[in-house]
Amino acid sequence: MLFDTNIPLKKLNSFGFDAIAEKAVRIEKSEELIHVLRECQAQDLAWRTLGGGSNVVLNDKLPGLTLLMQIKGRKLIEESPSHWIIQVGAGENWHEFVEWTLSKGWPGLENLALIPGTCGAAPIQNIGAYGSEVAQTIQSVRALDLNKLHEDNPWIDIQNKDCAFTYRDSLFKHEPNRYIVTQVTFALPKEWVPNLSYAELAKHIEQHSDDASTLPSITPKQIFDAVCAIRQAKLPDPKVIGNAGSFFHNPIVDADKHDELKAKFPGLVSYPAGRVEGQTQFKLAAGWLIDQCGFKGKRVGPVGVYENQALVLVNHGGGTSTDILNLAKSIQEEVQGKFGVPLEIEPNIL
């Protein structure tokens, strides 16, 4: 099998880095993966998958083979008394998929509007925003299991309970060289309840509503529009300024550490994050931590920290993965030194 060589990836990563794939192949049908990966094994080629490139930091040169995930398709496959069951290909654009479900009258994903990337990446990252996580609506994930690559049926449908979904995490992140997501099935409940658990979202809707008494009758489209407006106000458009959205996970600490920080820094921004082994956990706002270290709006050569949101690192033009990662390291060291809290990088580094 012949692969394309020296493929520019500048338009396939939201940072806009001038990365080059040594070899690349477009995957438009799931069956193509079997032949391609068997060929990789035969040639002893390293490989990786690349979807929308919205949650990655690409090095200048990607050795081996880059699989460009472009499997399309979206459809309602079943309608039960309680749910709409919808399948979508891994290469579909996530935001366009959310918009499409609402246009069909199938709400449930509106809080996740305008998140960049593809539908195949959604379960891998367990994308979440404004009080919602994609794990709440995923029924199952279809993937190629590389442990079964030479069997007659290497496909596996992994049910939600077996996906090990946690905050920004999943089975697929822990075994990146075993599973390749090709399709996701969603179960959207017909008994829709607006999710206004995120204070900023509820406040925005209240401020832009003619009458606060109308909040109980809010529509999915109103939430969708509000989420889009908030994100556009806070986050830069990758088409204008290269970025990968939130660059760090919001760190989670135990109650003792939280109380210690709250006493020392009364303005600490934090949220309850459930309980582990009987102890309450708290999620800290990484953007607030970074801002307190003086990085918000700071520029280092061609890269920097976005002026409106310290959680976002940006490429002003001409930056490289080395530039971004050096800046990220400086931020991690400062936050660790000031707060005693480690920051974990969210995007995948390829």
Catalytic residues: 168, 246, 346
Q: How far does Cα 244 stand from its chain's mean position?
A: 9
Q: Within 208-307, where are the H helices?
A: 220-234, 255-264, 286-292
C-alpha closest to that of 237 among 315, 133, 159, 303: 315
In angstroms, the CA 346 to CA 135 distance is 17
Check: CB of residue 146 under 8 Å from CB of residue 156. no
Q: How far does Cα 55 stand from its chain's mean position?
A: 6
- Compute CA distances 154 → 66, 112, 151, whole Å: 20, 31, 6
Q: How far does Cα 184 stand from its chain's mean position?
A: 15
In angstroms, the CA 30 to CA 143 distance is 9
In angstroms, the CA 331 to CA 327 distance is 6
Question: Which residues in 160-308 belong to E strands, given as ranges?
Answer: 179-189, 242-246, 252-254, 270-276, 279-284, 299-300, 303-305
